[in-house]
Amino acid sequence: MRINDNFLNLSSNYLFADVAKKVSAYKTEHPEADIISLGIGDVTQPLCPAVIEALHKATDEMATANSFRGYGPEQGYSFLREAIRKNDFLDCGIPIDLDDIFVNDGAKSDTGNFQELLGKNNTIAVTDPVYPVYTDANMMAGRHIVCLPCTPENNFVPELPRQHVDVIYLCYPNNPTGTTLTYKELWQWVNYALRNEALILYDAAYEAFIQSDNIPHSIYEIPGARECAIEFHSYSKTAGFTGIRCGYTVIPKEVVGRSADGSRAKLNPLWNRRQCTKFNGTSYLSQRAAEAIYTPEGMVQTSATIHYYMENARMMKQTLQTIGLQVYGGDDAPYLWVRVPSLTPTLSSKAEGSSWAFFDELLHQAHVVCTPGVGFGPSGEGFVRLTAFGQRERTIEALERIKQIY
Ligand code: PLP
């Protein structure tokens, strides 16, 4: 047999594995070092009481033959799809149908798998830096990828591509830069997609962290997006579901692509067909847990946790700016994108300005872990990503240590 050679074109090391390796080597040499991670993308706060209660109840249901649930609908239980439709869309003035919603086990699966519906010859655009799943999934399929640099010079707003592209991945609020797009900026992309028969794959995994009024929570707030955009949601960061696993994808029935004979085909039934073949649904327990987020108690408790993380972000940004670092993001997202300072105490001039050199310096001097920006793409060189998902006391301690060395 032959392997899929495209896999050989992927970078062999995964960014977080590299970070873990370096941290573990440092720990071995310095077992006494108390290391604080501001690099992880995982959350630290527990599930809220409303979710725990729902999990207990759902578990008890599984204990008797009358209420036991086996295989569920591949698209998700209607109790959850109805809660999503009402709370995330209808109540915000966005009309969507129940069968536009596909419940999944998190946004990673669907942002990675959705490209299966796309022909091999499509040109794919991704922002740079980028959440690596979009790029890697398309490289596995052998597609041509175009990068759209996002830097302080363009205010982290990707410019419309000069060459034609067929598919555009957008993630706002953005991982890793923590920046957002305004209505007008997002409208330009919807407009581009409509004019060029392109598809936007919009990752809204961090929409719950938006604090400002002028930032869209959903691409469907933009007129015309129902004809050209798919939207991915995740409960991972919103409600601490990184271990429970649940999210959903919205595929309006207006979104179409061309088949080989030039006729138009709706993506919604194609995805339904794909899911029914390859996916057996998210667990009943996870879906009951997700439903509980939409209860009045669940909403209050979840927003308290989001507030906790965003207060971390505010403190981090303020402290780092006070000591003279250039910090982007962090206002409407749990990520801060920090420019590597030009004059640091220990960097050699050769390494100066590099993401990995700054990573080493923070690890060695402050025992603080960050994520090197270059791991998210070439435009990430010269930056590091810090996350606001830490515990408050540990985050404060990490900031104190960084202050000490600068
Ligand atoms: N999309 C983005 C931009 C992310 O940062 C992440 C997780 O870090 C995901 C999707 C995946 O989320 P999930 O845990 O729902 O699979």
Confidence of residue 11 (pLDDT cuts 50, 70, 90): confident
* pLDDT score recorded for residue 345: 53
Give the Å distance between the CA of 73 and the centre of ligand 1. Answer: 23
Q: Tell me the torsion sign for CA atoms 58, 59, 64, 69.
A: positive
Q: Which atom of ligand 1 is nearest to the CA of 246?
A: 15
Residue 329 belongs to what H/E stretch?
Answer: strand 327-329
Closest protein CA for atom 5 of ligand 1: 175
Closest protein CA for atom 15 of ligand 1: 106
* pLDDT score recorded for residue 406: 85
Condensed to tens digits (0 to 9), the pLDDT of residues 288-330 reads 999 999 999 999 999 999 999 999 999 999 999 999 999 999 9
Give me the chain's average pLDDT, please.
96
Q: Which atom of ligand 1 is nearest to the CA of 174?
A: 3
Q: Is the CB of 175 under 6 A from ligand 1?
A: yes
Confidence of residue 17 (pLDDT cuts 50, 70, 90): confident
* pLDDT score recorded for residue 346: 56
Condensed to tens digits (0 to 9), the pLDDT of residues 179-233 reads 999 999 999 999 999 999 999 999 999 999 999 999 999 999 999 999 999 999 9
Condensed to tens digits (0 to 9), the pLDDT of residues 333-368 reads 999 999 999 755 555 544 557 999 999 999 999 999
Q: Is the CB of 240 under 6 A from ligand 1?
A: no
* pLDDT score recorded for residue 347: 53
Task: Provide, rounded to the nearest whole percent, the portion of the chain with pLDDT above 90.
Answer: 94
Give the Å distance between the CA of 208 and the centre of ligand 1. Answer: 13
Whole-structure pTM value: 0.96
**Which residues, 6 or more positions from 192, have their beta carbon under 8 angstroms from its beta carbon?**
160, 168, 198
Give the Å distance between the CA of 231 and the centre of ligand 1. Answer: 13
For 96, the token pair is: 């969507």
Condensed to tens digits (0 to 9), the pLDDT of residues 381-406 reads 999 999 999 999 999 999 999 999 98
Give the Å distance between the CA of 146 and the centre of ligand 1. Answer: 21
**CA atoms in the 13 A half-sphere facing the CB of 404:** 12
* pLDDT score recorded for residue 349: 46
* Substitution candidate for ligand 1 out of 234, 241, 309, 376 with most atoms within 8 A of CB: 234
Give the Å distance between the CA of 235 and the centre of ligand 1. Answer: 9
Cis amide leading into 152 (omega within 30): no
Q: Is the CB of 111 under 6 A from ligand 1?
A: yes
Condensed to tens digits (0 to 9), the pLDDT of residues 27-62 reads 999 999 999 999 988 999 999 999 999 999 999 999
* pLDDT score recorded for residue 351: 57
Q: Is the CB of 112 under 6 A from ligand 1?
A: no
Q: Is the CB of 239 under 6 A from ligand 1?
A: no
Give the Å distance between the CA of 385 and the centre of ligand 1. Answer: 15
Q: Is the CB of 41 under 6 A from ligand 1?
A: yes
* pLDDT score recorded for residue 16: 84
Selection from 217, 227, 231 nearest residue 191 by Cα: 227
* pLDDT score recorded for residue 350: 47
Give the Å distance between the CA of 300 and the centre of ligand 1. Answer: 23
* pLDDT score recorded for residue 14: 74
- Within 10 angstroms of residue 181's Cβ, the number of other Cβ atoms is 22
Condensed to tens digits (0 to 9), the pLDDT of residues 127-170 reads 999 999 999 999 999 999 999 999 999 999 999 999 999 999 99
CA distance 209 to 242: 16
Q: Is the CB of 205 under 6 A from ligand 1?
A: yes
Residue 384's SS3 state is: strand
Q: Is the CB of 242 under 6 A from ligand 1?
A: yes
Q: Is the CB of 77 under 6 A from ligand 1?
A: no
Q: Tell me the torsion sign for CA atoms 373, 138, 42, 33.
A: negative
Give the Å distance between the CA of 175 and the centre of ligand 1. Answer: 9
Give the Å distance between the CA of 113 and the centre of ligand 1. Answer: 13
Q: Is the CB of 234 under 6 A from ligand 1?
A: yes
* pLDDT score recorded for residue 287: 98
